[in-house]
Amino acid sequence: MKNYRIYSYITLGFALFFFVISLFSTPYFVRHTIKSSLENDIAAGKQEASQMALLSGELLNKNVDKQFVIESIQKAIANTNNENVFLSVIDWSGKVVSYPDVTNIGISTSDSSNEVATMESLITPDELYEIITSKLLEGNQNIGSNIIYIKSIPNSDLIVATHINEKKIQEKIDRTRNQFNIAFLILGLLTLLFTLSIIRYLSSFYEKLLDQKTIKIEDSVLSLSKLNSSLDAYQKNLLELKKSQVQLPEEQTQETPVQNIEKSKQRLLTYVRNELVSIPTEDIAYIYVDNTITYVIRKDGKRSTTNDSLDQIFSSLDEQLFFRANRQIIVAIHAIETITKFGNSALKIQTDPESEVEIVIGKNKAASFKQWLDL
């Protein structure tokens, strides 16, 4: 459910992003495309008008009948008003004498809505684009052609006019806008699909990693649970063993081998300031070294010092009751309260009373520690 929500947010975000991009960039791209097209159309129209004016002027200069020239032009431009750019011929009074649509012949350009360019001037693509788009924005229904260039025919009162077909240009603007919108839509969908695929792949990859870590954590928790359970069982067994030893006849206790007595001290000589204090080993919680001083911590939390090193002390203690956690500390079995995982393979011990230093068993000693607890 959470993944579907993420995918929904991503889809909504991409849709909003590409909508904003399309909203601001489409007009720019449409304007740039149409202006380039208009620039080509204007250049082509200017060239055609100049060539027709020059050719007609040469014919008139050769005393060819004016009406014949007009009829020839009419045949040449007939039905060309469906193209983006077409030509017509007007006289100096503004009357149309030749036009692709013969129904417009005889109409005065001053009576039409068309704008006439200045003599032999050339309207720019920017100006033409603004004229056409302004009509679209105003909802002007009177859309036809617009004179963008005129060229006089030598030796006559005739003028060749270049028209731009506004309706065709508007259709081209709409078509170009739709093409860009479709392009942005397709690009957005492809980008969205690609992004969702990448996110799905990454999420699956990290979910697998998370599952593996979860399994490792569960295994570690199970191992620590077994470790703490074994610790409790070991402490109970040790307590029962002590009780059974107390109940043994005095004769049997006297038969204990001397070697065991020598190996495991029953008491440890320590100092509290200048006072000598003998501590039973069963009262020791842990022993640690700090700044070359060896401290002995008892069950009740009281602290004393000793002149012996940890190596000397540990060699004289019962290894079933004490464990050398590291170079700095020796811990008693009955003082261990909990065992937790520390890092990748190390273990951390919490004692009662709480240790003044951190008790960490490195990964090299973790196996022997578990074996010490009879795991």
Q: Is the pLDDT of residue 236 over 50?
A: yes
- Residue 15: CB partners within 8 Å, gap ≥ 6? 188, 192
Q: Is the pLDDT of residue 330 over 90?
A: yes
CATH classification (class only), 2-186:
alpha beta
Q: What would the pLDDT profile of 245-281 be if each residue is shown by its tens digit?
A: 555 554 454 444 444 444 577 888 898 888 898 999 9
CB 328 within 8 A of CB 288: yes
Q: What is the pLDDT of residue 262?
A: 46
Q: Is the pLDDT of residue 206 over 90?
A: no
Q: What is the pLDDT of residue 111?
A: 46
Q: What is the pLDDT of residue 207?
A: 80
Answer whether 2-186 and 260-372 agree in fold.
no
DSSP string, 26-91: HHHHHHHHHHHHHHHHHHHHHHHHHHHHHHHHHHHHTT--HHHHHHHHHHHHTT-TTSSEEEEEEE
Q: What is the mean pLDDT of residues 146-168?
A: 87
Q: What is the CATH number of domain 260-372?
A: 2.40.50.1020
CB 116 within 8 A of CB 147: yes
Q: What is the pLDDT of residue 251?
A: 47
- The Cα-based distances of 77 to 38, 43, 102, 121 in angstroms read 20, 18, 10, 22
Q: What is the pLDDT of residue 54?
A: 92
Q: What would the pLDDT profile of 61-81 be if each residue is shown by its tens digit?
A: 888 888 998 899 999 999 888
How far is Cα 194 from Cα 262, in angstroms, rounded to an integer? Answer: 77
How far is Cα 315 from Cα 292, in angstroms, rounded to an integer? Answer: 18
Q: What is the mean pLDDT of residues 177-192?
A: 85
Per-residue pLDDT band at 294 (split at 50, 70, 90): very high
How far is Cα 101 from Cα 165, in angstroms, rounded to an integer? Answer: 13
- Residue 265: CB partners within 8 Å, gap ≥ 6? 281, 316, 317
Q: Is the pLDDT of residue 229 over 90?
A: no
Q: What is the pLDDT of residue 323?
A: 92
Q: What is the pLDDT of residue 218?
A: 65
Q: Is the pLDDT of residue 341 over 70?
A: yes
CB 288 within 8 A of CB 335: no
Adjacency order of strands within the sheet including 267-272: 275-280, 267-272, 303-306, 293-298, 284-290, 329-332, 322-324
Q: Is the whole-model pTM more than 0.75? A: no
Q: What would the pLDDT profile of 23-75 be if each residue is shown by its tens digit?
A: 888 888 888 888 888 889 888 988 999 999 999 989 888 888 889 988 999 99
Averaged confidence pLDDT in the chain: 80
Structure tokens at 230: 């074994």
Domain boundaries, the chain: 2-186, 260-372
